[in-house]
Amino acid sequence: MKAFVFPGQASQFPGMGKNIYDQYSDSHAFFEEANDILGFDIKKIMFEGSTDELKQTDVTQPAVFLYSYLSYAMKEGKPKPGAMAGHSLGEITALVASGALTFNDGLRLVKSRANAMQKACELENSSMAAIVGLSDEAVRKVCHDIRESVIAANFNCPGQVVISGSQVGVEIAIEKLKSEGAKRALPLAVGGAFHSRFMKPAEDDLREKIKSTSFSAPSCPIYQNVDAKPHIDPEEIQDNLISQLTSPVLWTQTMEQMISDGVDEFIECGGKVLSGFVKRVDRKFPTQQIT
């Protein structure tokens, strides 16, 4: 069984999508539609913008969504997916690729999500950091023992966890995790504490928009971040998508569950990061990228 996976924020790069635009004339309409929905020229920024311009949350999220989705949609002769999943933002891309959401509705949710998260970031001083070389449980324990609000937020692969929380809490956690033997503990250049309680205002803002958007049953099971389980029921998918903003991304657990359920190859659309995570689960596991 083949599983298609879609990356999230941090997979962007200058020039992204130009290869698709140049190769597939059918893609042009999607770029024009995206410009109309977003209210700015996303195509120009993707093709000509700087790294700094692409780091802006209201640009990054729609750019990654558009590139990842078109990498999948324009690919000719691709195998039939038996399952799909997306890392954080990529979950919306997976839902569009599976037919659970239309392209227009998916992009509108991405736009609302990016704006809501940016607003939440501005309310409190918060951040994230990548921790390499410690077990999930070791990272959880250090975060739990810190009184300042900080949690293990992204379980990306064995030996790599991202923590999220108040600026002070993250700084304290970095020092404690280094003393516990972390090979690396690096602050991330992000706007705030994603996938933590600091995103509660964004969750509240997005709840009504998600609930008022029409969701259909996907063409294959969608493994969602909040519980690493497959879902096909539209209402369950909506609820999990809402909870995702304040819940940890269980990506390691998702890959392990998909492999256990019969996935024999992961195909990443629009990036290479997730394929690297798969290799940390099983070095011999087959992966490929569509870009």
DSSP string, 183-226: SEEEE---SS-TTSGGGHHHHHHHHHHHHTS-----SS-EE-TT
Confidence (pLDDT) at 10? 82
* Element spanning 265, H or E: strand 265-269
Q: Are 225 and 244 in contact (CB under 8 A)?
A: yes
pLDDT (0 to 100) of residue 193: 94
How many alpha carbons fall within 13 Å on the CB side of residue 62?
A: 30
Q: Is 231 a catalytic residue?
A: no
The whole-number pLDDT of residue 252 equals 96
| Amino acid 147: pLDDT | 76
State the catalytic residue, choosing from 27, 68, 71, 88.
Answer: 88
* pLDDT on residue 18: 96
Domain boundary assignment for the chain = 2-119+197-290, 126-187
Question: What confidence score (pLDDT) does residue 280 get?
Answer: 87
Q: Looking at this protein, which amino acid is placed at residue 215?
A: F
| Distance from C-alpha of 124 to C-alpha of 108, rounded to nearest angstrom | 26
Residue 86: per-residue pLDDT: 98
**For each of the chain's 291 residues, which pLDDT tens digit applies?**
999 999 998 889 999 999 999 999 999 999 999 999 999 999 999 999 998 898 888 899 999 999 999 999 999 899 999 999 999 999 999 999 999 999 999 999 999 999 999 999 999 999 999 999 999 999 999 999 997 789 999 999 999 999 999 999 999 999 999 999 999 999 987 889 999 999 999 999 999 999 999 999 999 999 999 999 999 999 999 999 999 999 999 999 999 999 999 999 999 999 899 999 998 887 677 788 887
Correct CATH for 126-187 of 3.20.20.70, 3.40.50.2000, 3.30.70.250, 3.40.630.40: 3.30.70.250
Q: How far apart are CA 98 and CA 217, in angstroms?
A: 9
Kindly give the residue spans of alpha helices, DSSP state H, lying in 39-126: 42-48, 51-54, 57-73, 90-97, 103-121
- CA gap 145, 62 in Å, rounded: 37
Give me the pLDDT at residue 133, please.
Answer: 97
| Displacement of CA 56 from its chain's centroid (Å) | 15
Q: Please tell me whether the overall predicted TM-score, pTM, comes out greater than 0.75 for this model.
A: yes
Helix (H, G, I), strand (E, B) or coil at 269: strand
In the structure encoding, which two tokens stand for residue 284, read together? 């011999």
Helix orientation angle between 28-38 and 103-121, rounded to the nearest 10 degrees: 40
| CATH number assigned to the domain covering 2-119+197-290 | 3.40.366.10
164 counts as catalytic: no
Q: What are phi and psi of 288, to 5 degrees?
A: -150, 165
The residue type of 187 is P
* Side-chain half-sphere exposure of 180, counting CA atoms within 13 A: 21
Residue with tokens 């209402």: 235
> What pLDDT, on the 0 to 100 scale, is given for residue 189?
77
State the catalytic residue, choosing from 195, 231, 247, 275.
195
